A and B are shown apart, each in its own frame.
Chain A
Amino acid sequence: MQKFSQNELKYKANDIRQDIIQMLLEAKSGHSAGPLGMADVFTALYFGGVLNYRPDQPGWPGRDRLVLSCGHICPVLYATLAEAGYFPKTELMTLRKFGSRLQGHPHNLDLPGVETTSGPLGQGSSQAVGMALAFRMDHVKNRVYLIMSDGEQNEGQTWEAVMLAGKNKLHNLTAIMDRNNIQIDGFTEDVMPLENLKAKYEAFNWHVLEVNGNNIDEIIDACLEAQSIYEKPTLILAHTIPGMGVDFMENDFKWHGNPPNKEQAVLALNELRTLRGQITSEHQ
């Protein structure tokens, strides 16, 4: 796998964010805040040397599995997969359109690199546990990376899966929770209080790490630490800013489930391309 410098990783995350904005503008529907907030986590996983994968062989048996449980943030998955070379970037603009392989919520059989089907929340956690169990049965070293949202912790199924993973000490499972504090109806602690998440997962026999989910280095370090924990599955509580990178979207739950219109997209892209006004964009 190609190694990237710190700066290169930052630019990759920025590229992914720009793709997300353009995809959502083109699709005219979809979620903005989650995908933007998670661009750094996906960059760390795919380009920071964490995930084992081969874009030219999507079915390679030795690959690690990335299970996206909160399927609604799939624009960030699609943009990352295209960046990694699974399919041409031009295809990103077909998101949510008739005949597209980029379904509104991800479908494992449609697009190379998409491992599972998700949308109804909580289902990815169980599937990730099943995969981790299968790899243990087969005595192979594949790892499973589960991406879940914080709102998804409202689902009973999530905790059923967390219990089973703790019981079976699935050290080949690393979950990363997008702790961005928003869900559709508002702030997570208003809709359904979740804290203390760290203590809850520890009580279920998980190893818990907390990182700044918008700091690529911290995410990579945490993923590598998780690989060294042998008795427990690991949860990385990734504190992210929803809408990260676009000033008027940041920390506003109204952007959970909405796409930008043309004017908003221009503003957003300008902010991303100029690194918040630090440089001049040729597109300005």
Chain B
Amino acid sequence: MELNPKIGQPDIEQVATRKGYGEGLLELGLADQKAVVLTADLAESTQVLEFAQKYPERFVECGVAEQNMMGVAAGLALAGKTAFVSSYATFSPGRSWDQLRVSVCYSQANVKVAGAHTGISVGPDGATHQALEDVAITRVLPNLVVEVPCDYLEAKKTTVALGKMKGPAYFRLGRAATAVMTTAQTPFELGKAYVMREGKDAAIIGSGPILYQALLAAIELEKQGISVMVVNNHTIKPIDVKTIVEAAKLCGAVVTVEEHQVMAGCGSAVCEVLAQNFPVPVEMVGMQNTFGESGQPDELLKKYQMDKDAIMDAIKRLIKRKRQVI
């Protein structure tokens, strides 16, 4: 797997995943006249401003009205457009879930919902703006593809791939600049998880920028003689059962990581696969049924146990449990 050789080094490039969304839209906008973009008064922050300036006739400013925006996107899609809905995930799909359910998913309207400002690393804005439930409320909806890109480049690839795909999709983006783990050459396919790092004692299966913390944990544990696999499960739905089961068979123990509530998110999706196919001991790293607060991303990741150290602790607990099982 080709990844950024700077992984683990302090000077690794840091770019927000939302920037990848903006760039992906520009690429799509040029290639596909049907691509339209909507926002609810968050053009700059969701990185769609450049698209709006370049293609004003294909941009809809909805004002602060997320429910209407979701429905307008469905109408545009039913009249032949590929509609990208852009807001913060706490508002959309947070406030527009009913519209997403009926106008988009049940109708199979070609709408792509970009939820920005997800995870605790939203930081200073505080709990109201930190989307930690968005994967839960989207992955239960039939017909909806759910994607969580791990970095800026993967977000760009996700945007382009979803634009070419027909049907409803949700994908989550982050506010903070985070490590660019992949390269332009790293293979990306919707619905296909991939191994970022080989290992055999435990497998970390996760999604989003937090995977960088997972890679750092794996690197450090290797020095302590523990071999950890890292799997990027960027598609939460439809989930890649084969890759997840293979990782579980090889390692016999799984740690799930996500910047999301541990209930009903990526980790739960992985557990559903494991429970039905190949049960192994699991530790879940993520938000533990609580709201966030203001702070810097690193402070918050540490306090809420989603940083490298927390992941290392989880792996050690897991390996102890794995031995007990054997």
Contact = CB atoms under 8 A, between A and B. Distances in A.
B81 interface: yes
Interface residues of A, number: 35
Contacts of B81: 134, 137
Contacts of A161: 68, 71-72
A156 B67 contact: yes
Contact of B62 (A109, A119, A164): A164
A35 to B, nearest CB: 21
Contacts of A134: 36, 75-76, 79-81
Interface residues of B, number: 30
B106 A133 contact: no
B103 A123 contact: yes
Contacts of B57: 137
B108 interface: yes
A104 to B, nearest CB: 13
Interface stretch (A77-85, A124-132, A249-257, A258-266): A124-132
Interface string B184-221: 00000000000000000000000000000000000000
Nearest to B75: A130
B102 A119 contact: yes
B312 interface: no
A142 B60 CA distance: 19
A139 to B, nearest CB: 10
A137 B68 contact: no
A137 B36 contact: yes
A109 B72 CA distance: 18
Interface in A132-163: 132-135, 137-138, 142, 156-157, 160-161, 163
Contacts of A157: 65, 67-68, 71, 99
Contact of B102 (A109, A117, A163, A167): A117
A116 interface: yes
A106 B76 CA distance: 19
B99 A130 contact: no
Nearest to A126: B71
Interface of B: 36, 57-58, 60, 62-63, 65, 67-81, 83, 98-99, 102-103, 106-108
9 contacts: A65-B79, A67-B75, A123-B99, A125-B71, A126-B74, A127-B103, A132-B75, A133-B60, A160-B62
Smallest CB-CB A-B distances: 8 pairs: A130-B75, A126-B71, A160-B68, A134-B79, A127-B75, A160-B65, A130-B72, A130-B76
